């Protein structure tokens, strides 16, 4: 990758950043970039409200004067190879905010919940100087453990119908999460899922929080817990 393009990324040029991420998606090397730091991974099963929760986190971060970048990884169609980049739609409320940058990336068949070029893309976001970098995984379930190697803090988001103790024990993503969130906290079943997660994470000292992303309830407490873990 051309060094002048990287210099533009480091200076905060958003067009250059978008171009650089496209190039790493196409397989170009990006030497000289820093290792990703203070990255927050958001993972969990489909329908848990990850994108809505991330949007609420962005609101809270921006209210504190922080700039935010989001890399949202979407599944590729097994037929067309394309991806439904729906996270941009869900985060439309931030489209005119210069302090927020949202980039969707297709997995292109890569397993593990991330795209193959996700690490380089996150390194570019870090180089661009954002205060916060969030990565949302595909949302396919138990295989989303790759985010553990990229994010310093992994947030597992589930819904109030996610399942009982047995299901929690079987989910590989439970083992990698630092924070558990039961989203849609205004619906029935929340307390049961909380108990299942506490039991499944016994001995790991991981917090189990409740949020209602649509209203913002519990989001500040979640961000405070993330900050505590980031130290």
CATH number at residue 109: 3.40.50.300
Question: Residue 89: its pLDDT value, please?
Answer: 58
Is residue 22 in a domain? no
Q: Residue 42 forms beta bridges with which residues?
A: 136, 155
Strands 68-74 and 132-136: parallel
Burial class of residue 173 (count of CB atoms within 10 Å of its CB; 0-12, 13-18, 19+): buried
pLDDT digits over 127-168, tens only?
A: 999 999 999 886 544 445 666 678 899 999 999 987 664 455
Q: How many structural domains is the chain composed of?
A: 1
Is residue 185 in a domain? yes
If DSSP codes are grouped into helix, strand and coil, which group holds residue 136? Answer: strand
- Which pair of structure tokens corresponds to residue 16? 């250059």
Domain that holds residue 81: 34-230
How far does CA 97 lie from the centroid of its chain?
19
Residue 171 predicted with pLDDT over 60: no
Is residue 176 in a domain? yes
Is residue 69 in a domain? yes
Is residue 93 in a domain? yes
């Amino acid at each position: 990758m051309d060094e002048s393009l990287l210099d533009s990324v480091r200076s905060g040029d958003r067009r250059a950043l978008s171009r650089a991420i496209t190039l790493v998606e196409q397989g170009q090397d990006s030497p000289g970039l820093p290792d990703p730091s203070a990255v927050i991974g958001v993972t969990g099963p489909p329908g848990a409200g990850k994108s809505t929760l991330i949007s609420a986190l962005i609101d809270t971060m921006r209210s504190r004067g922080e700039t935010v970048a989001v890399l949202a990884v979407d599944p590729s169609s097994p037929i067309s190879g394309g991806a439904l980049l729906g996270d941009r739609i869900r985060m439309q409320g931030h489209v005119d905010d210069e302090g927020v940058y949202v980039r969707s990336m297709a997995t292109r068949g890569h397993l593990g919940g991330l795209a193959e070029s996700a690490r380089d893309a996150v390194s570019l976001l870090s180089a661009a100087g954002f205060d916060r970098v969030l990565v949302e995984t595909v949302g396919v379930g138990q295989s989303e453990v790759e985010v553990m190697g990229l994010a310093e803090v992994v947030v597992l988001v589930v819904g109030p119908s996610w399942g009982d103790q047995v299901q929690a024990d079987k989910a590989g993503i439970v083992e990698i999460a630092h924070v558990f969130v039961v989203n849609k906290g205004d619906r029935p079943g929340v307390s049961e899922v909380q108990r299942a997660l506490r039991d499944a994470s016994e001995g790991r000292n991981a917090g189990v929080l409740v949020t209602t992303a649509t209203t913002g309830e519990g989001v500040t407490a979640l961000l405070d817990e993330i900050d505590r873990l980031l130290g």
